Chain A
Amino acid sequence: MAALLVSFTGCKKSSGPEMQPAGDTIKVGEFASLTGSEATFGQSSHKGTVLAVEAINAAGGVLGKKIDLLTEDNQSQAGQSSTVVRKLISSDGVVAILGEVASSRSMEAAPICQENKIPMISPSSTNPKVTETGDYIFRVCFIDPFQGTVMANFSRKTLKLNTVAVLPDVKSDYSMGLAKFFKEGFLADGGKIVAEENYSGGDKDFNAQLTAIKAANPDGIFVPGYYTEVGLIAMQARQLGITVPMFGGDGWESSALIPIGGKALEGDYFSTHFSPQDSSPAVQNFVKDYQAKYNGETPDAMAALGYDSAMMLADAMKRAGSTDGAKIRDALAAEVNFPGVTGNITMDASRNASKPAVILSITNGVFQYVETIAP
Chain B
Amino acid sequence: MEFLQQLINGLAFGSILALIALGYTMVYGILRFINFAHGDVFMLGAFSGFYLAPKIATFVPLPSVAGAILVLIASMAICAALGVVIERFAYRPLRKSPKLTMLITAIGVSLFLEYAGQFTFGASPKRFPEILPVYHVMKVGSLSLNSNQIIVVVVTILLLLALRFIVMKTKIGTAMRAVSFNPEAAALMGINTDIVISFTFALGSALAAAAGILWAVNYPSIDPLMGILPGLKAFVAAVLGGIGNLPGAALGGIIIGVTETLVSGYISSTYRDAIAFAVLILILLIKPSGLLGKKDIEKV
A residues sitting closer than 8 Å to B (CB atoms) are 35-37, 39-40, 75-76, 170, 197-200, 202-205, 207-209, 211-212, 214-215, 228, 231-232, 235, 239-241, 256, 259-260
Given known A37-B223, A208-B264, A239-B144, contact A203–B123 (CB-CB < 8 A):
no
Within 8 Å by CB of B9, from A37, A211, A231, lies: A211
A256 touches B265 (CB 8 A): no
Known contacts: A232-B219, A239-B148. The answer to whether A208 contacts B124 by CB under 8 A is no
On B, residues with C-beta under 8 Å from A are 1-2, 5-6, 9-10, 12-13, 118, 122-125, 127, 134, 136, 139, 142, 144, 146, 148, 215, 218-221, 223, 226, 229, 260-266, 268-270, 272
Taking a contact as CB atoms under 8 Å apart, the answer to whether A170 and B269 are in contact is yes
Residues of B within 8 A of A239 (CB): 134, 136, 144, 146, 148
Question: Does the CB pair A205–B219 fall under 8 Å?
Answer: yes
Set B219, B268, B272: member contacting A204, Cβ < 8 A: B219
Identity of the chain B residue whose Cβ is nearest the Cβ of A36 in the assembled complex: B123
Check B124–A204 contact: CB distance below 8 A: no
Q: Provide 11 A-B residue pairs closer than 8 Å at the C-beta atoms, listed in order of the A residue.
A: A35-B118, A197-B269, A200-B270, A200-B272, A203-B269, A208-B6, A208-B264, A215-B2, A256-B125, A256-B127, A260-B220
Q: Check A211 against B265 for contact (C-beta < 8 Å).
A: yes
Contact A214 B142 (CB under 8 A): yes
Q: Are A35 and B123 in contact (CB under 8 A)?
A: yes
B269's partner among A200, A241, A260 (CB-CB below 8 A) is: A200
Point out the residues of chain A lying under 8 angstroms from B12, CB to CB. 207
A215 and B148 contact, CB distance less than 8 A: no
Once the chains bind, are A39 and B124 in contact (CB under 8 Å)? yes
CA distance A333 to B264 in the complex (A): 45
Please, how many angstroms separate the alpha-carbon atoms of A240 and B261 in the complex?
15
A208 → chain B closest CB, angstroms: 4
- Chain A residues near B1 (CB, 8 Å)? 215
B125 touches A37 (CB 8 A): yes
Are B264 and A209 in contact, with the CB atoms below 8 A? yes
Q: What residues of B have a CB within 8 angstroms of the CB of A35 in the complex?
A: 118, 122-124
Chain A residues, Cβ within 8 Å of B6: 207-208, 211-212
Please tell me if the beta carbons of B124 and A40 are within 8 angstroms of each other in the complex: yes
Closest 3 CB pairs of A and B: A204-B219, A208-B264, A207-B9
Q: What residues of chain B lie closer than 8 Å to A203, measured between beta carbons?
A: 269
Is A211 in contact with B2, judged by CB distance below 8 angstroms? Answer: yes
- Flag if A231 contacts B221 (CB, 8 Å): yes
Residues on the B chain within 8 Å of A75, using CB: 123
Provide the residues of chain B in CB contact with A235, threshold 8 Å: 220
A residues less than 8 Å from B13 (CB atoms):
205, 207
Q: Which residues of B contact A209 (CB under 8 A)?
A: 264-265, 269
Give the complex CA separation of A337 and B199 in angstroms: 70
Interface of B is mostly: helix
What is the CB-to-nearest-CB distance from A97 to chain B, in angstroms, rounded to a whole number? 23
Contacts of B127 in A (CB 8 A): 256, 259-260
Nearest-CB residue, chain A, relative to B135: A239
Pick from B146, B221, B226, B229: contact of A232, CB under 8 Å: B221
A39 x B123 contact (CB < 8 A): yes
Tell me the bound Cα distance from A170 to B264 in angstroms.
13
A211 to B148: give the CA distance in the assembly, Å.
16
**Nearest-CB residue, chain B, relative to A169:** B269
Cβ of B9 and Cβ of A208 under 8 Å apart?
Answer: yes
Bound CA span A197–B265, Å: 8
Cβ–Cβ < 8 Å partners of B272 in chain A: 200
Q: Look across to chain B and name the residue whose beta carbon is closest to the beta carbon of A231.
A: B221
Q: Which of A36, A202, A212, A231 contacts B124 (CB 8 A)?
A: A36
User: B270–A198 contact, CB under 8 A?
Assistant: yes
Give every chain A residue within 8 A of B118 (Cβ-Cβ): 35
Q: Bound state CA distance, A205 and B272, in angstroms?
A: 12
A228 cross-chain contacts in B, Cβ below 8 A: 125, 221
Contact between chains at B265 and A198 (CB < 8 Å): no
Q: What separation, in Å, do the CA atoms of A370 and B125 have in the docked complex?
A: 29
Could you say which residues of chain A place their CB within 8 Å of the CB of B270? 170, 198, 200
Query: B136's contact among A215, A241, A256, by CB below 8 Å, is which?
Result: A241
Contact B266 A212 (CB under 8 A): yes
| Centre residue among B10, B142, B221 by max chain A CB count within 10 A | B221
Closest-CB distance, A176 to chain B (whole angstroms): 11
Complex: A22 Cα to B272 Cα, angstroms: 54
Asked if residues B125 and A260 are in contact (CB atoms below 8 Å), the reply is yes
Among B12, B264, B266, chain A packs the most CB atoms within 10 A around the CB of: B264
CB distance from B202 to the nearest CB of A (A): 27
> Apart from A202-B229, A239-B148, A256-B124, what are 15 other A-B pairs with CB-CB below 8 Å?
A35-B118, A36-B124, A75-B123, A76-B123, A170-B270, A199-B269, A203-B269, A204-B219, A204-B226, A207-B12, A207-B261, A211-B9, A212-B265, A228-B221, A241-B142
- Are B139 and A241 neighbours in the complex by a CB distance under 8 Å? yes
Please determine whether A241 and B144 come into contact, CB atoms closer than 8 angstroms: yes
What's the nearest-Cβ distance from chain B to residue A256, in Å?
7
In the assembled complex, the CB of A195 is this many whole angstroms from the nearest CB of chain B, namely 11
Given contacts A37-B223, A228-B125, contact A240 B144 (CB under 8 A): yes
How many whole Å from B32's CB to the nearest CB in chain A? 32
Residues on A with beta carbons closer than 8 Å to the beta carbon of B262: 208
Cβ–Cβ < 8 Å partners of B220 in chain A: 232, 235, 260
Chain A residues with CB under 8 A of B146: 239-240
* A211 interface neighbour in B5, B124, B221, Cβ under 8 Å: B5
Q: A236 vs B268: C-alpha distance in the bound complex, in angstroms?
A: 18
In Å, the complex CA distance between A108 and B226 comes to 25
B130: shortest Cβ distance to chain A, in Å? 8
**A208 proximity list for chain B (CB < 8 A):** 6, 9-10, 260-265, 269
Among residues of A, the one whose C-beta sits closest to the C-beta of B144 is A241
On chain B, the residues within 8 Å of A232 by CB distance are 219-221
Q: How far is the CA of A340 from the CA of B1 in the complex (A)?
A: 53
Say how far A29's CB is from chain B's closest CB, in angstroms: 22
